[in-house]
Amino acid sequence: MLDIIAPPRPGLDLRQHYGHWQSPAVRAGGFVFCSGLLPIDAEAGERRHGTLTEEAHVIFANLKLLLAAAGSSLDHLVQAHALIYDSIEYDVLNRIYRQYVGAAPPARTVWDARSEAGFKVQLDVTAAAPDALAGNAGPALREALAPPANDALASAAVRGGDFVFVSGLTAADAVTGGPVPQTTAEQTALVLDHMQRVLKEAGSSLRQVVKVNVLLHSMLEAPNMNEVYACFFPDPPPARTVCGARLPPGIKVMIECTALGATR
């Protein structure tokens, strides 16, 4: 069953105010899938430009309203995408993020991106819908696995219903947390080997992956990434999106995925 979540406040109807052909959120399969949220006044629909800190507070306030209307909350986030205008603001984003996301955070991927109207941040999230899954047997409604060593604000993976959501992974040194100075192909191998271990700990595997997102520092490196990638995934492979992105210094590839969890 698919439910379209109506705007909980008039200002969050971006179809009316800005002509966006989108619904604020859709609830289906025990999850709430939210559109990318921008800093918009929830009552008047006016754009709220400001510092990244100011914009992020507005977005989280709107996100709380939207998730409540869909029967969920920030506590039930399974995956978050944070699009920021410049990686120099990464630590600023984290200071705000930790105020709204608890000790068992969702899987998360952060990258530089350009949002409309010069906004500094946009959040795109997926959350479990508790009442939709309340009667299900098997894995817990939402279970966050241990955060990776280099980012305490993201769980390596989160089990939600039938799925495992894995954070954007990079080839970072396990001791220092710094990037590994290697080629895109070598970094891809390290990332996918790490992903394989994370999925195994979550009761899943690369064979159960349904969707992958690959962020590359240069699309010229796509063939090098692809050659290594094909060695890790079965034939036929999962659905995938590959795009160029501004990544942290030294990072040439970042990969996230969604997989089926343990068979019920």
Judge: domain 1-137, CATH 3.30.1330.40: yes
Amino acid found at 78 = V
- Separation between Cα atoms, residue 214 and residue 237, nearest integer Å: 14
| pLDDT for res 146 | 63
- Write out the CATH class of domain 162-264: alpha beta
- Separation between Cα atoms, residue 76 and residue 66, nearest integer Å: 13
Domain ranges across the chain: 1-137, 162-264
Is cis: bond before 238, omega within 30 of 0? no
* Structure-block tokens of residue 4: 């379209």
- The residue count for the chain: 264
With 0-12 / 13-18 / 19 or more C-beta atoms within 10 angstroms meaning exposed / middle / buried, residue 92 is middle
Q: CB of 73 within 8 A of CB of 45?
A: no
Helix (H, G, I), strand (E, B) or coil at 50: coil
User: Which residues, listed in sequence order, are joined to residue 127 by a DSSP beta bridge?
Assistant: 32, 77
Q: Kindly report the backbone phi and psi dihedral angles of residue 45, in degrees, each rounded to the nearest multiple of 5, phi listed first.
A: 80, 10
Identical topology for domains 1-137 and 162-264:
yes
Helix (H, G, I), strand (E, B) or coil at 204: coil
- Separation between Cα atoms, residue 65 and residue 69, nearest integer Å: 6
- Which portions of the chain are predicted below pLDDT 50? 133-140, 263-264
Number of other residues whose CB lies within 10 A of the CB of residue 164: 30
**pTM score:** 0.90
Q: CB of 94 within 8 A of CB of 153?
A: yes
Under 8 Å CB-to-CB from 67, ≥6 apart: which residues? 25, 32, 34, 73, 74, 76, 127
Q: Which tens digit of pLDDT belongs to each residue from 117-144?
A: 999 999 999 999 986 544 443 344 688 8
| pLDDT for res 145 | 78
Q: Which of 17, 18, 35 is nearest to 26 (CA)?
A: 35
How does DSSP classify residue 120?
S
Q: CB of 179 within 8 A of CB of 248?
A: yes
Number of other residues whose CB lies within 10 A of the CB of residue 205: 15
Using the CB atoms, write b or e for 74-83: b if 16+ within 10 Å: bebbbbbbbb
| pLDDT for res 1 | 80
| pLDDT for res 220 | 97
- Separation between Cα atoms, residue 62 and residue 40, nearest integer Å: 8
Amino acid found at 110 = V
